Amino acid sequence: MGMLQSLLETQGLSPTLPQDAEEDLAHILGEALRMHVYPRSIVASRGVVFFLGRQEQTKWLGLLYRDGSTDAARFSGQEQGVELEQLLILRLCPADHANAVALRRTLPFTAPQVVGGRKSFGFGDRLGLATPGHVRAVRKAPHIVPVFAQQSIREMERSGRTPEQVLDDATWGVFQEGWRDGFGADADHLKTTADVDVCVEAGYTMYTVDPGDHVDNEAVRASLGTLKRKAETLPWDVLESSPQDLYAAYLDRTFDLGGGLVVRFSEETLLRAAVKYGRAVVHSTALYRHLAGRMGAGQDFELEVSVDETETPTTPEEHFFVASELKRLGVRWVSLAPRFVGRFEKGVDYIGDLKQFETEFAKHVTIARAMGPYKLSVHSGSDKFSIYPIVARLGGDLIHVKTAGTSYLEALRALTGIDPDLFRDILAFARSRYQADRATYHVSADLAKVPWPDQLSDAALIGVLDTFDGRQVLHVTFGSVMTGKNEQGDYRFRQRLLDALRANEEVYYAALEKHLGRHLAPFVDEKG
């Protein structure tokens, strides 16, 4: 109990407690308060001891303090007296949005921050339960900055979540695990100013703009005559340029970027780049300027530009052109996601020639170093184990990897042991939804190769998640699984899945720690 008294005297933020002290104090508090207290959540600030506790499947924010705490007054909850060798006030608060906001203001380590040019890794969490497992994985990968809150507007809509919920879930997970080394929050694949606005209101620090709808994929196959006609129709006023300026800036010029990479533009190469990406540059610039206006002076934020969701790879010349035009228009960004060679399908390893990927990736790294430096962002980065060593070796710290659906797949992996019948129901439903749900994804799974669940023993269910076809079918149908309802209007699977994982959270955390740890391992350099 002496440790509790010491924490109550803390005026600043208390240091992380030794593990045995955390566990002893968590046991004492748990016994007194009749709840499970998460040991790593215990922290003190300005005379208030904060912790996260669980009663059955409900989590509570707990505050212990003596009378008169102004910090405690920020949180909404019920007060009661509790005798812990002295009479203290206990305030139990629901783990809701209002209290998450208050927690971020009171304990800054639970709030996202800008990551900057440091090597980073995005942990998408489609269920809102995965952050503790992600924290455990990244603890073994120092010098990699985690982005715990990361989800696209599209995926939020499919999973029935809001930007606030995604950020709040990350906050509670960070608090539960006592992660104090900082994390980012990525509002991913934003396409409109309305998308930007809702994420600014929620408090994100990283904004990934997606101008993919404005990329002219036909430019790759167009003749020189067609390219000239299309170039004339580009919005030159918005580009703050002209065809004459374009030719003067690039045509027949040689750009030595170092590392043996020289970029040259013939008329055809230049027009192909301008037509393909000109309107994407316009859209990215417009979203950036809108975002900068919304954030205002003094508010830190960072931008990623993503052109990965296009039909054809981004050539080195096109990458250089996009970066040059964005710089000319005053856009500042921390990372850029080209469309790399090969196929980056959901939930499975890289498909393509590794030597070709290495050759082209090296060129993109050289451009990013010369034109920034900025990070190269690898989207659909889940489970791309064959390219991780290449990316890590060539990219160094100028790397950001995004994962998302793989954490959902690990939830299903955990489910095969927790509730095999529920997994069978989800697999059967996923088979029925795959043909419709695959339409907006780049996938190639063959449904005929995915077994019917009634053909599998309980022990064999987990094997579905180790096959190419099974992973993709389960991956792309998550939105239908999470939002599908029965004739009575009740969720078919959502609540059952969440309840099963909450009741067996350590099983899920262990699966995440192992699987995401495998992702991170190739990026852990000699410094750690």
Where do runs of H (alpha helix) occur along 52-127? 97-106
Residue 384 in domain: no
CA 441 centroid distance within chain: 18
Residue 6 in domain: yes
Model pLDDT, residue 88: 94
φ and ψ at residue 177, rounded to 5 degrees: -95, 0
**CB of 402 within 8 A of CB of 124?**
yes
Model pLDDT, residue 300: 92
Give CA–CA dist 185/199, Å, rounded. 10
Q: How many CB atoms lie within 10 A of CB 218?
A: 13
Where do runs of H (alpha helix) occur along 178-266? 193-202, 224-232, 236-239, 243-250
Region of residue 510 (left: phi > 0; alpha: psi -120 to 50; beta: else):
alpha
Of 72, 106, 140, the one marking the end of a domain is 106
Annotated catalytic residue 188: yes
Annotated catalytic residue 22: no
- Helices 97-106, 163-177: crossing angle, 10 deg rounding: 50
Q: How many CB atoms lie within 10 A of CB 57?
A: 11
Of 71, 106, 141, the one marking the end of a domain is 106
Q: Tens of pLDDT along 476-489?
A: 999 999 999 999 99
Q: What percent of the chain has pLDDT over 70?
A: 99
Residue 284 in domain: no
Nearest to 64 by CA among 33, 36, 104: 33
End-to-end C-alpha distance for the chain, whole angstroms: 36
Q: What is the reported pTM?
A: 0.96
Give CA–CA dist 488/479, Å, rounded. 19
Q: What is the tally of structural domains in the chain?
A: 2
Residue 114 in domain: no
Give CA–CA dist 234/272, Å, rounded. 12
Residue 281 in domain: no
User: Which of 94-114 are b and which e, b meaning 16 or more Cβ less than 10 Å from the residue's Cβ?
Assistant: ebeeebbbbbbebbebbbbbb
Would the CA dihedral through 233, 237, 243, 246 be positive or negative?
Answer: negative
Q: What is the pLDDT along the chain (528 residues), one digit of tens a residue?
A: 588 999 999 989 999 999 999 999 999 999 999 999 999 999 999 999 999 999 999 999 999 999 878 899 999 999 999 998 789 999 999 999 999 999 999 999 999 999 999 999 999 999 999 999 999 999 999 999 999 999 999 999 988 899 999 999 999 999 999 999 999 999 999 999 999 999 999 999 999 999 999 999 999 999 999 999 999 999 999 999 999 999 999 999 999 999 999 999 999 999 999 999 999 999 999 999 999 999 987 789 999 999 998 899 999 999 999 999 999 999 999 999 999 999 999 999 999 999 999 999 999 999 999 999 999 999 999 999 999 999 999 999 999 999 999 999 999 999 999 999 999 999 999 999 999 999 988 899 999 999 999 999 999 999 999 999 999 999 999 999 999 999 999 999 999 999 999 999 999 999 999 999 999 999 997 554
The token pair that represents 103 in the structure block: 């927690």
Residue 452 in domain: yes
Residue 335 in domain: no
Residues in the chain: 528
Residue of 188, 302, 308, 437 marked catalytic: 188
Residue of 22, 168, 302, 304 marked catalytic: 304
**CB of 150 within 8 A of CB of 185?**
yes
Give CA–CA dist 200/54, Å, rounded. 31
Q: Tens of pLDDT along 426-453?
A: 999 999 999 999 998 889 999 999 999 9
Give CA–CA dist 82/88, Å, rounded. 5
Which residue range(s) make up the domain with 418? 407-518
φ and ψ at residue 447, rounded to 5 degrees: -60, -30
Q: How many CB atoms lie within 10 A of CB 248?
A: 11
φ and ψ at residue 127, rounded to 5 degrees: -105, -15
Give CA–CA dist 261/459, Å, rounded. 53
Where do runs of H (alpha helix) occur along 329-457? 354-371, 388-395, 405-418, 420-437
Residue reference for tokens 């919920």: 165
**CB of 301 within 8 A of CB of 205?**
yes
Of 87, 106, 125, the one marking the end of a domain is 106
Residue 156 in domain: no
The token pair that represents 121 in the structure block: 């890794």
Model pLDDT, residue 442: 86
Model pLDDT, residue 528: 44
Model pLDDT, residue 85: 79
